[in-house]
Amino acid sequence: MGDRRITNHPILQFSEGEIIHFTFDGKPMEGREGDTIASALHANGVKVLGYHFMTKRPRGFYCAIGNCSSCLMIVNGKSNVRTCTAPLKSGMIVETQYDRGVPDDV
Amino acid sequence: MMYEIDLAVIGGGPAGLMAANTAAEAGAKVLLLERDGHLGGQLVKQTHKFFGSEEQHASMRGNDISTMLGDRLGSFGERVTVWKSATVIGFYEDGVITIDHNGIYKKVKPMRVVVATGASEKFLSFPNNDLPGIYGAGAVQTMMNVYGIRPGQRVLMIGAGNIGLIVSYQLLQAGVSVAAIVEGLPHIGGYAVHASKVRRAGVPILTSHTIVRADGAESVESATIAEIDRGWNVIQRTMKTIACDVICISVGLTPLAELLWQAGCKMRYIPSLGGSVPLRNDCLETTVKGVFIAGDVSGIEEASAAMVEGRLAGLEAAASLGFKSERYCEERNDCMEQLAALRSGPTAEKIRSGLACAECR
């Protein structure tokens, strides 16, 4: 689904950032330097990021700027990560979140 | 450890960047706090050319204005500190603000604060409105213009205000098709120049229409729209289903005012300004002494007004600490004149009457 990336634009130029490898629910995927977790997933055609803890209805991002918490996922074992603003990093283990998640160790 | 500073500016968007620049210029030591990993707020995705006068950076694109203002901040050296990835999580009544800075908890006690936290997108109620593929128009703009990713193949835009019109045009620029723009009002809310551009590209703008429902298994596959009568009731026989994989919601913004509530500012619900806003005087100071506001958090307008408000708030916050250049009066008058000009004309009547309700003292 590489065609989701814009290569031809009348105003903007998107540099082909370095490829970043990560996994989503065990599947290997590729993102680009500069991606957030959610933008990399979207580029791979993944729209469903989690399921509502009670209704089990699918959830995607809504605001993409860190306000609405619709994009929460489990990243490297940590739940409730706002994937729309969290930068993608090499080797990240990204998983669909189905429940309320577990609070951070303080 | 408590960090002490002349002025903390919360939010590094157009208003906050101008406030920080102006206060630093006057001589104040400034700490700029930005939740995101980069400065600019929503300017970074605004690839259209701005209107207005030269002072308001007309004909520059938002993303270029953002870079310019960020670079200017760097010219003040040690007088300006910028913390990125710094989310303000508390504003206490003794003036202490608490911050999550890259996972580290910090406390700051500034002499003055400019709150420039901006706004968030409103939502719309209809069956299946939680399906993935239903995105805020700003979110789609971020995906495309910041990350270079198409949100989908065929978009239905809800709302023909300026954001709805501009994002529709930018979707076309990114090679995405726009099925239609649906607007509940009997007229287009945004500027005619933006509406003409999308119409010329063949996108229908359906006024007096609404979205009835969305459908799809795991994500959006179609939307049902219909005409509405003067009482906003759906006219059943006009219902039709449109195939689309994205529904973009562009029905306005609401101020992100939580910190002002926490600080104890007197607030008032003013629908024409987008929601609850703080009362303020003509220096943009709230009812809590030393707490100033600028940009969308003070009432929804647009980036040009936000920048002028930021400049005014930065000027006044610095002046109240004694950092007052000989050009203070001139600068203040200039801000006032620019704001009056931006808020002139019949389309700004809503904003003028809203702001009149938000004045205090």
B349 in the same domain as B273: yes
Predicted local confidence at residue B52, as pLDDT: 67
Evaluate if residue A106 carries a pLDDT over 70: no
- For chain A, what percent of residues have pLDDT higher than 90? 75
B198 in the same domain as B83: no
Read off the amino acid at residue B164.
Answer: G
A23 lies in a domain?
Answer: yes
Nearest to B37 among A39, A84, A87 (CB): A87
Predicted local confidence at residue A1, as pLDDT: 43
Predicted local confidence at residue A105, as pLDDT: 62
Q: In chain A, whose CA is at the least distance from the CA of B216?
A: A58
Between the CA of residue B115 and those of A101, B260, B293, B310, what are the distances in Å? 32, 8, 5, 10
Predicted local confidence at residue A7, as pLDDT: 84
B37 reaches A (C-beta below 8 A): yes
The mean per-residue pLDDT over the stretch B313-340 comes to 96
DSSP A64: S
A-chain residues near B142 (CB < 8 A): 64-65
Predicted TM-score of the model (pTM): 0.90
Structure tokens at B303: 């980036």
Distance CA B223, CA A18 (A): 37
Predicted local confidence at residue B184, as pLDDT: 96
Tell me which of A47-51, B12-16, B108-112, B300-304 is least confident: B300-304
B103 in the same domain as B220: no
A87 reaches B (C-beta below 8 A): yes
> What ipTM does the predicted assembly reach?
0.93
Between the CA of residue B303 and those of B62, B162, B275, B358, what are the distances in Å? 8, 12, 18, 20
> Residue B242 — pLDDT band, cuts 50, 70, 90?
very high
Q: Are B160 and B190 in contact (CB under 8 A)?
A: yes
Evaluate if residue A2 carries a pLDDT over 60: no
B130 in the same domain as B225: yes
Residues 20-79 of A with CB under 8 A from B: 34-36, 39, 42-43, 47-49, 52, 57-68
Evaluate if residue B361 carries a pLDDT over 70: no
Q: In chain A, whose CA is at the least distance from the CA of B245?
A: A47
Distance of CA B323 to the CA centre of its chain: 29
Q: In chain A, whose CA is at the least distance from the CA of B255?
A: A67
Q: Considering chain B, what is the average pLDDT of its residues?
A: 94
Per-residue pLDDT tens for B166-181?
999 999 999 999 999 9
**Is A59 within 8 Å of B130 when comparing Cβ atoms?**
yes
The CATH code of the domain that includes A34 is: 3.10.20.440
A-chain residues near B139 (CB < 8 A): 61-65, 84
Evaluate if residue A102 carries a pLDDT over 90: no
- For chain A, what percent of residues have pLDDT higher than 70? 95
Given the structure tokens 């408000």, which residue do they identify? B309
Predicted local confidence at residue A60, as pLDDT: 97
Nearest to A60 among B42, B133, B174 (CB): B133
- Among B249, B266, B301, give the residue marking a domain's end: B249
B244 in the same domain as B342: no
Q: In chain A, whose CA is at the least distance from the CA of B49?
A: A11
Per-residue pLDDT tens for B55-106?
767 778 888 888 999 999 999 999 999 999 999 999 998 999 999 999 899 9
Read off the amino acid at residue B194.
Answer: H
**How many domains, chain A?**
1
Provide the domain limits for residue B69: 2-120+253-357
Distance CA B87, CA B62 (A): 23
B233 in the same domain as B192: yes
More confident residue, B58 or B193: B193
- For chain B, what percent of residues have pLDDT higher than 70? 98
Nearest to A63 among B136, B144, B150 (CB): B136
A-chain residues near B173 (CB < 8 A): 9-11
Nearest to A62 among B136, B150, B173 (CB): B136
B130 reaches A (C-beta below 8 A): yes
Q: Which of B43, B142, B259 to mutate to test the interface with A (most CBs of A within 10 A)?
A: B142
Predicted local confidence at residue B166, as pLDDT: 93
Distance CA B39, CA B300 (A): 20
B78 in the same domain as B196: no
Q: Considering chain A, what is the average pLDDT of its residues?
A: 91
B281 in the same domain as B193: no
Evaluate if residue B25 carries a pLDDT over 70: yes
Read off the amino acid at residue A93.
Answer: I
